[in-house]
A and B are shown apart, each in its own frame.
Chain A
Amino acid sequence: MNSKKVILLGKYGVGKTSLIRQFMHKEFSDAYLTTIGVKIEKKIVTTNEGPLAMIIWDIAGESSHRKIPPSYKLGSQGIIYVFDLSRLSTYEALDRELSDLKTLLPNVPISLVGNKKDLLNEKDLDTIAAKLPLVDVTFISARTGENVEKLFHDLALAMVR
């Protein structure tokens, strides 16, 4: 079976682990248990090209991807960059992070997601959206599951294309 390596990046506490848990098991917990190193999970999804094994690397959050061992990023075929909509510090340096990643992993699709949408109202979201770099951003909630399925599905399509 075709398999693809997907890495999750983003600062600690933004909800990477929660996002994967929601995607894998439709579960959510309010407790914060930090990830160390990397946790590897596998989920098979169906695409128009047949089934695809997504090997998901839930990497421990750091303030910048530069602090992560380079071998983790090696051979990645998809990137999900997660930030926390309720914490400015998690999306302040997006521009630099994204352009770094593009140089490091050219031609790899990147999904930029703002998590914890459930904590904000529409007006605040608009204000935040105005501050973000001009790229596609998906607002999701690992808590409610909003846009989670879609996020992985879209990335899977982008990877097999």
Chain B
Amino acid sequence: MNIQTLKQSYINKNTQFVVFSIEGQLLGSCDTLFKVKMEKDTLFEEVPFLASMVEALFDMAEGEELTFPCIGEDLYGNEGYFDFVFNKQKYQGKEAMLWIIHDFSEHYEHLISLQQQRNESEIKGEFLETEKKNIQLENELLEYKNAELERLQQIKSRFFSNISHELRTPLNGIYGLANLIDGTGDKHKLKEYTEALNATVVHLTTMVNDILDHSKIEAGKITFVKEPFDLRATLRTVSNSFLFACREKGIDLQVNLSFDLPRVIVGDATKLSQILYNLLGNAVKFTDKGSIRLEVSLLSMQESCTELQFSISDTGIGIAKEKLEKIFAPYEQATDHTSRLFGGTGLGLNIVKQLVELQGGSIRVDSSLGHGTEFVLSIRYEGALKEKNPEPYVSSEASSSSDPTGKILIGEDDTLQQKMLHDLLLKWGYEVSTVGTGKQVMEVLANTELDVLLLDYHMPEMDGYQVASAIRASSESYAHIPIIILTGEQPTYTEGKFQELNIQSFVTKPVLPDELHKMIRRVLTDIQKDRKGRVLSMGKMEVDLSYLIDVMDGDMLKIKELVEIFLSSAPQQISKMHDLYDKKDWHSLQSLVHQSKSNYKYIGILSVGELLDELEQDLKKERNQEGYLSKIEQVEKATHQAVTHLKQMRWSS
């Protein structure tokens, strides 16, 4: 056998030649690998591979060759891997396709395991790579979390060591004060100690509440009530509680509520108070001069949602920029210098922030070191009742409750100025009535008890001068009412004219509110000083409190208490007098008269005192028996008058 035949026989057994026409008719096959059957119309329908290549094969040029390696197909029951070669050429004079099929199954099957290995290891590699990346990311995250956790832990433990110090200080104080109270018999000292004890307990309670609130919020256990509440009243209560502290420090507290605020809103009034107490408390704490302002306005109002904005600003020490960022963070503050200086948990602002945010709001802070701080926050409330005639509530330190109060009459013919003065005085907290003519002024004075008269100089009919003269000339009780003259003239000219009329003050128009306010306050304060020893005349009867005022050192509250005791006991004593008179028990009547006599003298109802003196003498000497009853009745009548009068008295310190 020669080499050519060897080669031939080797290639022969793995290769088949098939020839078919362009239309797919079988023209010849050597059938070495499989027997070509023609059960269908064309070869294309017999062999899926050919079916999918019809067009491509058609498109081939004559003599062109196409190779398809490694085709896995079932050829007439012969499954394996083949290489296909197509060659377009003439066969028996007609255009035909030579299809050469090489069976390389053995060779390719060997390749499968190699390719399988390659693919599997690459896929595995990919997964390892991704996993590695994930682990790396997770590690980084974990590291970050750990660092953060450690940082928090450190802050927390620092916080707790500070807080326990903060708590121990008042506790020590309480312990010490309790010992002092135990050991002292001095009443004065005792009062001092209990006051200090009270203040310490309040301070401690605030801190404990802060800590409790904070942990409640952290545990997500805080709840908000949804109840209607009077917005203005709540704001007033909060701001009023700072009036004293502000006055002590000599700073102004201004409250500004916008006109359109709803009267009643639905939400948690206590939480709102808590927020404002905290922020105003801070403002007072960190402000030594200037003012503190609380402003409240309406951001939006829909049927089911009312958004309010609160701004709390001060002219205090301010907060440094780098601290501003951390100001709402819990724990952080308690460790820094300011809180060391002022005490407290440093949780307050964090609680405020949480309370605001949990009520659908937001809070921000703006501050400039040395100039002041402003907190602006908004809260969403569910609903609101709108006020029909909203009245602005503007308050300032000046209208604090302990300022002198009073009834003021304005005599002014110009409607605009009338209105302006009226609103100003009302704003300052006085009771105000207005009239337009001098004649009306006289009428009102005759029927109403007033404290101050604000009188315009230029008025129709009777001018200010004429009115003032008439008042001073009268014999009525209003003859001495303090008068403030409003004038457009140079005060020197007017003053000269009014000299003999004892006019308290002159105010030049246009009126400067501050000046007027000061003047009214001064006049009212003077009146109150004058009350010391002032005699209240009531027709024939007089009440003279000067004795009590002297004895009580001008402490009006105490005087009031004594008067009240008198008011409740006097009618009882009189009815007892009637009883004893009916029983003709002259002895008991005499001692009762003696006893009550001094009460009337203390209170300063001198005429009754004298009457009782006479009655006592009569009883003693058993004379004028027929006059006993009429004297008792006179006492009764006078007492009734005095009681009515005293009950109407306005008490101010």
Residues of chain A having any CB pair with chain B under 8 Å: 1, 3-5, 12-13, 32-42, 53, 55, 57, 60-61, 69, 71-72, 74-75, 87-89
From the candidates B45, B116, B122, name the one contacting A1 in the complex (CB within 8 A): B45
Task: List, in ascending order, chain A residues with CB within 8 A of B116's CB.
Answer: 32-34
Inter-chain pairs besides A40-B48, A74-B66, 11 sampled, C-beta below 8 Å: A32-B120, A36-B72, A37-B108, A39-B72, A55-B49, A55-B51, A71-B68, A74-B53, A75-B56, A87-B127, A88-B130
Tell me the complex Cα distance, A3–B68, Å: 20
A34 and B112 in contact, given A13-B119, A88-B130 (Cβ under 8 angstroms):
yes
Is A69 a contact of B68 with CB atoms below 8 Å? Answer: yes
List, sorted by A's number, 10 A–B pairs whose CB atoms are closer than 8 Å: A3-B54, A12-B123, A32-B119, A34-B112, A37-B69, A38-B71, A53-B48, A72-B68, A75-B54, A87-B127
Give residues of chain B (271-285) contacting chain A, Cβ–Cβ below 8 Å: none
> 1/0 per residue B47-60: CB within 8 Å of A?
01101111110000
Tell me the complex Cα distance, A33–B120, Å: 10
Task: List, in ascending order, chain B residues with CB within 8 A of A41's CB.
Answer: 48
Task: List, in ascending order, chain A residues with CB within 8 A of B49's CB.
Answer: 40, 55
Is A89 a contact of B55 with CB atoms below 8 Å? Answer: no
Is B53 a contact of A5 with CB atoms below 8 Å? Answer: yes
A37 and B56 in contact, given A88-B130, A89-B126 (Cβ under 8 angstroms):
no
Tell me the complex Cα distance, A3–B54, Å: 9
Closest to B48 in A: A42
Closest to B53 in A: A75
Task: List, in ascending order, chain B residues with CB within 8 A of A32's CB.
Answer: 116, 119-120
Task: List, in ascending order, chain B residues with CB within 8 A of A37's CB.
Answer: 69-72, 81, 108
Closest to A69 in B: B69
Tell me the complex Cα distance, A75–B55, Å: 7
Tell me the complex Cα distance, A54–B622, Å: 144
Give residues of chain B (35-89) contacting chain A, Cβ–Cβ below 8 Å: 44-45, 48-49, 51-56, 66-73, 81
Is B112 a contact of A36 with CB atoms below 8 Å? Answer: yes
Is B123 a contact of A87 with CB atoms below 8 Å? Answer: yes
Closest to B51 in A: A3
Q: For chain B, which range describes its interface: under 10, 10 to 19, 20 to 34, or 35 or more residues?
A: 20 to 34
Is B72 a contact of A87 with CB atoms below 8 Å? Answer: no
Tell me the complex Cα distance, A27–B115, Å: 24
Closest to A43 in B: B48
Which label, helix, strand, loop or mixed, suits the secondary structure of the B interface? helix
Is A38 a contact of B126 with CB atoms below 8 Å? Answer: no
B27 at the interface (CB under 8 A from A): no
Chain B min CB distance to A10 (Å): 12
**Residue in B67, B108, B122 whose Cβ sees the most chain A Cβ within 10 Å:** B122
Residues of chain B having any CB pair with chain A under 8 Å: 44-45, 48-49, 51-56, 66-73, 81, 108, 111-112, 115-116, 119-120, 122-123, 126-127, 130
Tell me the complex Cα distance, A12–B112, Å: 13
A12 and B55 in contact, given A37-B69, A37-B72 (Cβ under 8 angstroms):
no
Is B119 a contact of A34 with CB atoms below 8 Å? Answer: yes
Task: List, in ascending order, chain B residues with CB within 8 A of A34's CB.
Answer: 112, 115-116, 119-120
Task: List, in ascending order, chain A residues with CB within 8 A of B54's CB.
Answer: 3, 75
Task: List, in ascending order, chain B residues with CB within 8 A of A89's CB.
Answer: 126
Task: List, in ascending order, chain B residues with CB within 8 A of A71's CB.
Answer: 66-68
Tell me the complex Cα distance, A5–B48, Å: 9
Closest to A3 in B: B51
Task: List, in ascending order, chain A residues with CB within 8 A of B68's CB.
Answer: 69, 71-72
Tell me the complex Cα distance, A34–B67, Å: 23
Is B126 a contact of A36 with CB atoms below 8 Å? Answer: no
Task: List, in ascending order, chain A residues with CB within 8 A of B127's CB.
Answer: 87
Is A40 a contact of B72 with CB atoms below 8 Å? Answer: yes
Q: Report the 7 A-B pairs with minimum CB-CB distance, sorted nearest first.
A: A37-B70, A75-B56, A55-B52, A5-B52, A42-B48, A12-B119, A39-B72
Chain A min CB distance to B125 (Å): 10
Is B70 a contact of A36 with CB atoms below 8 Å? Answer: yes
Tell me the complex Cα distance, A126–B52, Å: 37
From the candidates B52, B66, B119, B123, name the one contacting A40 in the complex (CB within 8 A): B52
Tell me the complex Cα distance, A133–B63, Å: 43
From the candidates A39, A57, A69, name the one contacting B52 in the complex (CB within 8 A): A57
Tell me the complex Cα distance, A64–B122, Å: 14
Tell me the complex Cα distance, A5–B55, Å: 10
A36 and B48 in contact, given A12-B119, A71-B67, A89-B126 (Cβ under 8 angstroms):
no
**Residue in A12, A36, A87 whose Cβ sees the most chain B Cβ within 10 Å:** A36
Task: List, in ascending order, chain B residues with CB within 8 A of A39's CB.
Answer: 72-73
Chain A min CB distance to B177 (Å): 62
Task: List, in ascending order, chain B residues with CB within 8 A of A55's CB.
Answer: 48-49, 51-52
Is A38 a contact of B51 with CB atoms below 8 Å? Answer: no
Closest to B113 in A: A34
Task: List, in ascending order, chain A residues with CB within 8 A of B44's CB.
Answer: 3
**Residue in B48, B53, B81, B127 whose Cβ sees the most chain A Cβ within 10 Å:** B48
Is A36 a contact of B45 with CB atoms below 8 Å? Answer: no
